[in-house]
Structures are given as structure tokens and as C-alpha cells.
């Protein structure tokens, strides 16, 4: 009788264990994996372009600051009050150009690139978290993610997934891989991935999303939850399905749950970020196009507030000379062009003279 009871208890325990495993096994098909990889890669590609644009704006702002500093030094070295008065409008113009360069840099950081990076990192972080957990061997019978590939073999490890899907590899680990910027994208957004996520297999194949509280729990740490929402809610894994939301037409779905993160990334990087305009020392033809120059010129020489062409051009010719060469030679512009100021880093790297 005791043996019979033991056998029944063992059978009951085994059946409950199978039910438990069936509840918490959350496999993704190879096509679903590739869909996730394509979305991750497309976002990462956009973020790379945004970061490069930010670096370009930073270089332009730094160069503008150095040229402005050189111009201010030229003003400070003016030998006479008249020379100083003539250089003041030019110095104001260079200071304004520096301010514009830094304003463009700040706008890029706050309004576009930082926002895109923040949202993109959040999305990619969830994707990478899912990869890591799905491929973790929580017990010897599962060996991590055992979703079948197209040829009927199994994924054994995280590396198998990365090897099969190049975009996965690029989006998660490899910083130097060549990017395919068109992967997963259409003119309306990302391609429809909803139909490629297959149902969970009834056999012990797939990924177990476990937590520290319970080896068979979900990523949120609640082992009783039957549905996991990953990747900002774009990927939903339930007992029976693993589904990616339709990611086309993002503009119309921006307010819906799960779309906010990706739509934010797409919106902030959809249009190419404008290339920064390099700051250079002014030519005579540039002077009257600068409000900072004209405003300072009017104040320095007591000219009418509403001064405009052709009177403005005449005043500039009278003060700075009618020929363009006269302006660059007489007022030091050729000098500061031929002797650009060095940055602190450059000065530190310059060879020291022997004493």
C-alpha cells in the first residue's frame, strides 16, 4: 500500500512538474529571433549615425571657440583706440559665431541625440536582457534556449543565436561590424514582424525565463505571472505564444503602449541631422551679414540704428577700406589665419625647447 501511495505521489509530482514547465517555457522561433535582431540592429544603426553627428558638432564648436579666442587676443593687442574700435565689431562677430556653434551642439544633445540614445539604450537593454536570460542554462535538460532552427537543429547557447543572425551579433556585442541600415525598415517604419512569431511547442524546447526568486519564474520576478512583456512591451511572451507587435506606421501608434520607446527613437533620427557649419574668420563680404557685427559697428561709430544698404556698405568701405585685401591685411585677419591658436592638448604634446 505504501509503495502504491509512493508511486501515485511520484506520478502526481511528475505531472505537476510537467505542467509547471509548460507554463513557464517561453520559446521563440528562429524567425522571431531574427525579427528582434532586425529591430535592434536598425535602432542601433540610427544611434550610431546620431553619435557621429554629435561628434561633428562638438568639433565645430571647439574650433569656433579657438578662433574666437584668437580674435579676442588680436583685439586686446590693438595698438591704438582707433584700431581697437575697428576690431570690436569683428570680435563681436566671432563671439556670435562661437555662441551659435555651441547652441547647435546643445540643441543636438538635448533635443535629438540624447533623447534618441536614451530611448534606444533602454530598448536595446531589454533586448539584450532577454537574450541573456533566454540562453541561460537553468537546468541540464534545457541547456538554455533550445528553439529549433530551420534545419531542425537546436540553439544550444546564446552564441548560436548570434552566429545565425548577423544583425543580432552586430546589435549586441560587435562595435566594429558593418551595419545593414535597411534591415527591418520600410518607408513607414519597421517591417511587420507580427506574423513570424510562432506558437510555443508542447515539447521541452524553448527558453525558460527565470528569476532569482524561482528558477521557473518570469523576468519580472513574479513566478505566478503568466505573461511577460519585454522590450518595452513590444515583445509579449505568454504560455501559448511569443508575439512581436506590428512595428510599421509608428507615427500613428506613438501613444500606444509598447510603441513609445521605438517611435521616440525613430522620430528623433528619422530625418538626417544637419551637418554643422564650420566657423571661419570673416572676409569683408561677410561683415554686413552678421547682426553682431552691424550692431557693434553702429554702437562704436554712433551710426543710425536703422542703418541698411546701401549706406551700410558705404560705411564699411569708409572704415575698413574698399578693397577686400585691405581688410584682411590691415586688421590682422591674415595674421590670425596664418597662425591658428593651439588647443591645450596640442600645446601639451608640443616638444619642449632645450633650456
199-220 confidence digits (pLDDT tens): 333 333 334 343 323 333 333 3
Supply the pLDDT for residue 49.
74
Match 561677410 to its residue by C-alpha cell: 286
Residue 287 to residue 116: CA distance in whole angstroms: 38
pTM: 0.55
Residue 78 to residue 82: CA distance in whole angstroms: 9
What are the domain boundaries of the chain? 24-279, 281-342
Query: CB of 188 within 8 A of CB of 248?
Result: yes
Query: What does the pLDDT look like over 224-252, one tens digit per residue?
Result: 444 555 555 666 655 455 566 766 676 67
Query: CB of 174 within 8 A of CB of 184?
Result: no
Supply the pLDDT for residue 118.
61
Supply the pLDDT for residue 238.
53
Architecture of the 24-279 domain: Alpha-Beta Complex (3.90)
Q: Where are the alpha helices (DSSP H) in the chain?
A: 2-24, 30-76, 81-107, 114-134, 158-164, 166-172, 260-269, 291-301, 311-320, 324-330, 333-338, 344-349
Residue 139 to residue 342: CA distance in whole angstroms: 61
| Positions in the chain short of pLDDT 70 | 1-36, 38-39, 42, 111-244, 246-248, 250-251, 257-258, 260-274, 325-355
Environment class of 312 (CB within 10 Å of its CB; exposed 0-12, middle 13-18, buried 19+): middle
Residue 29 to residue 40: CA distance in whole angstroms: 17
Amino acid at each position: 500500500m505504501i509503495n502504491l501511495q509512493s508511486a501515485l505521489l511520484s506520478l502526481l509530482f511528475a505531472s505537476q512538474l510537467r505542467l509547471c514547465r509548460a507554463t513557464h517555457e517561453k520559446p521563440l522561433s528562429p524567425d522571431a529571433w531574427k525579427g528582434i535582431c532586425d529591430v535592434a540592429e536598425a535602432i542601433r544603426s540610427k544611434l550610431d549615425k546620431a553619435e557621429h553627428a554629435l561628434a561633428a558638432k562638438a568639433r565645430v564648436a571647439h574650433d569656433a571657440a579657438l578662433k574666437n579666442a584668437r580674435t579676442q587676443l588680436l583685439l586686446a593687442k590693438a595698438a591704438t583706440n582707433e584700431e581697437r574700435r575697428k576690431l570690436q565689431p569683428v570680435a563681436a562677430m566671432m563671439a556670435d559665431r562661437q555662441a551659435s556653434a555651441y547652441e547647435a551642439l546643445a540643441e543636438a544633445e538635448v533635443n535629438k541625440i540624447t533623447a534618441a540614445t536614451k530611448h534606444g539604450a533602454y530598448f536595446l537593454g531589454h533586448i539584450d536582457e532577454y537574450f541573456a536570460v533566454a540562453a541561460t542554462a537553468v537546468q541540464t535538460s534545457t541547456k538554455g534556449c533550445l528553439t529549433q532552427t530551420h534545419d531542425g537543429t537546436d540553439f544550444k547557447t546564446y552564441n548560436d543565436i548570434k552566429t545565425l543572425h548577423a544583425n543580432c551579433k552586430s546589435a549586441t556585442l560587435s562595435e566594429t561590424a558593418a551595419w545593414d541600415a535597411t534591415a527591418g525598415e520600410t518607408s513607414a517604419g519597421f517591417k511587420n514582424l507580427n506574423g513570424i512569431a510562432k506558437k510555443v511547442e508542447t515539447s521541452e524546447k524553448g527558453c525558460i525565463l527565470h528569476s532569482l526568486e524561482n528558477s521557473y519564474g518570469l523576468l519580472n520576478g513574479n513566478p505566478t505571472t503568466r505573461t511577460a512583456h519585454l522590450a518595452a512591451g513590444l515583445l509579449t511572451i505568454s504560455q501559448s505564444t511569443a508575439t512581436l507587435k506590428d512595428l510599421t506606421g509608428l507615427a500613428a501608434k506613438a501613444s500606444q503602449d509598447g510603441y513609445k520607446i521605438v517611435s521616440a527613437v525613430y522620430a528623433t533620427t528619422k530625418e538626417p541631422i544637419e551637418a554643422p557649419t564650420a566657423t571661419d574668420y570673416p572676409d569683408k563680404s561677410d561683415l554686413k551679414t552678421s547682426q553682431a557685427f552691424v550692431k557693434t559697428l553702429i554702437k562704436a561709430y554712433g551710426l543710425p540704428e536703422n542703418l541698411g544698404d546701401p549706406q551700410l556698405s558705404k560705411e564699411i568701405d569708409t572704415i575698413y577700406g574698399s578693397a577686400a585685401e585691405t581688410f584682411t591685411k590691415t586688421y590682422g585677419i591674415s595674421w590670425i589665419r596664418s597662425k591658428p591658436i593651439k588647443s591645450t592638448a596640442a600645446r601639451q604634446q608640443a616638444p619642449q625647447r632645450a633650456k
